[in-house]
Amino acid sequence: MTTTVPVCVWPVNAELAEGPLWQAAENAVYFVDIKGRNIHRLSIATGLQQTWRAPAQPGFVAPLGDDSFVCGLPDGLYRFEAGSGQFSILKEVEAHLPGNRLNDGFVDASGHLWFGSMDDAEEHPTGSLYRVSNDGALVVQDSGYVITNGPAMSPDGRTLYHNDTLRRVVYAFDVSEDGTLSGKRTFASITGDGYPDGMAVDADGFVWVALFGGWRIERFSPDGKLVEQVAFPCANITKLAFGGDDLRTAYVSTAWKGLSQEERLKQPLAGGLFSFRSPTPGQPQAQCTRGFSQ
């Protein structure tokens, strides 16, 4: 089964667009261009397109409230204020690993931020998965990744999914009451073209995985069975987020990173922001309410 064909809603030509984030109060979607060092915002109601320049590679943005966000820059978590465009340091991360940068992140329903780090050269397994605890401490939950991607949570909050991109594996973990992970296991392995990048879990617990170099998104049932694919007109699909009034419009980031000039000519929409309609709604976007002073 295939859902509605994706439509490019902003041909922004991002080198490495990532981390679409739905903000219901604004009727807008935010996303980053990691290599382009930009944060983008598209107003769905008006079509207004806005771009802020980041001081370094932004791995993700996550909502803090009002017009401020947590932004993952290579050396730490920063407060990004959309109104002023200013960045200010909140927490340093991995000062002992200058070759690392922060990559993908998300906020669970309880308000905790989860995010990953990775080797910017994509060669060494120096990346880790983090959770920000109630007291603001950064707790390593798993490690040994070259490229971390796609932390996402089941609707009941009991299962966390995380991608080891280069190994082409989606892992599942059990989540305890205090957020500790256990029971690491393979949830799904990617068998066709592409590498698992960002992902999202819908309200029915199905896991949607964007495939970098795979021309598609794959949807897996809660027991790990591949049940659906959504094909795209470009190869590098990086992440999706559910939005719209009914949370059934998926907004999808893509990238032209790694494409040859000939490939880019054949994929003119690579690096654009797409949308398609989902058969089921996603989960509401939570705000970072734990471990950060507002």
Catalytic sites, residue numbers: 197
Q: Residue 37 is which amino acid?
A: R
3-state class of 193 per DSSP? coil
CB 276 within 8 A of CB 20: no
Bridging pattern class, strands 127-132 and 17-23: unpaired
Helix (H), strand (E) at residue 29: strand 28-33
CB count within 10 Å of CB 183 equals 11
Structure tokens at 9: 């809603």
Least Cα distance to 293 among 29, 65, 120 occurs for 65
Q: Which residue has the tokens 């094909």?
A: 231
Q: Spell out where 34-112 has E strands.
A: 38-43, 49-53, 61-65, 68-73, 76-81, 86-92, 100-107
Least Cα distance to 171 among 155, 160, 182, 156 occurs for 160
Task: Give first-to-last CA distance, the chain, whole Å.
Answer: 44
Kindly provide the b/e burial profile for residues 108-129, where b requires at least 16 CB atoms within 10 angstroms of the residue's own CB.
beeebbbbbbbbbeeeeebbbb
